[in-house]
Amino acid sequence: MSLKLQTRSSAVRSWLRPGTVIPLLVILVALLWAGLPSVFAPLSPTQSVAAALQPPSPAHWFGTDATGRDLFARVVHGASNSISGALIAVLVGLVVGTAIGVTAGAVGGVIDDVLMRFVDVLLAIPALLLSLSVVILLGFGTTNAAIAVGVTSVAAFARLTRSRVVSVRVSEYVEAAFGSGGTFLGVLWRHILPNSLTPVIALAALQFGSAILQISTLGFLGYGAPPPTPEWGLLIAEGRNYVATAWWLTALPGVIVAAVVLATNRLSQAIRGGEGR
């Protein structure tokens, strides 16, 4: 019992370290922005509210853009599109990839070979090229861009899930469950899946940051939400022509994207560290 208490205490202390608390706060702020944008930025994100190209000030924390719109309001309201898109992308990759990985690892044989060759094909295609191809087929927009990004993460989830299922499937407690009369689906649900999904959850946290980055990239290239909809990648793209005279238009949205992505990466590391204890 004392060993368990020490392990739990160590896990709690690791989550209370500044290197973990700060990323959690960053992610929490971003989620609050996405859920309650008007509370944090009451100004309109699509209408002019001041003179154009005003630098950051107490009245406009992130300055204004080329048409006089408040940049902070656009960044906050843009969190809704970028983060909801990232959640959709992670959900697509997690559900489809996990289903493929579990099926391949649990069934094995010819089905395993066929599914893994499909995964190999996905891995052979560069992620940006694959996402561009999918979004062109589906059409432009944040949701379609999110689905396209989700498709690029299917292979990573499938390979990780399969490797974990194959490893857990040959464990002694799984063999004992089968030996005591457990059915295939019952053992899979009660024993194999619960002991296989912790690294998958860590990958989901990592993919969340990657999805934000990829969706922002598609938005920057013009494949995401159409103007004047605020979206982080689009905001950076709109400010690239004013880098010399209005640095804040690209720098501040870029800092927000980088902060959220780095925070999710650190959270993923914390989850993997918790798995190892």
pLDDT digits (tens, 9 = 90+) for 174-200: 667 767 767 767 777 777 787 778 888
Q: 13 is written with which tokens?
A: 């202390």
Tell me the CA distances in angstroms from 78 to 1, 75, 99, 101, one per residue in order: 48, 5, 32, 34
Higher-confidence residue: 215 or 196?
Answer: 215
**pTM score of the predicted model:** 0.84
Q: Which of 247, 266, 144, 258 is nearest to 202 (CA)?
A: 266
Confidence (pLDDT) at 3? 46
Cα 53 to Cα 246: distance, rounded to the nearest angstrom = 7
Provide the CA 217 distance to its chain's centre, in angstroms: 14
238, 65 Cβ separation under 8 angstroms: yes
Reported as a single tens digit per residue, the pLDDT across 157-166 is 999 999 988 8
Locate tokens 């070979």: which residue? 113
pLDDT surpassing 70 at residue 276: no
Give alpha helix (H) positions in 170-197: 172-179, 184-187
Query: Given the structure tokens 């990839």, which residue do they identify?
Result: 97
The Cα–Cα gap between 161 and 97 comes to 8
Dig out the tokens for 270 from the structure: 């914390």
19-41+63-276 CATH, one of 3.30.2290.10, 1.10.3720.10, 1.10.443.10, 3.40.50.2000:
1.10.3720.10
pLDDT digit string (tens) for 30-84? Answer: 999 999 999 999 999 989 988 999 999 999 999 999 999 999 999 999 999 999 9
What is the residue whose two structure tokens read 């494949």? 223
Spatial separation of the C-alpha atoms in residues 150 and 164, rounded to whole Å: 21
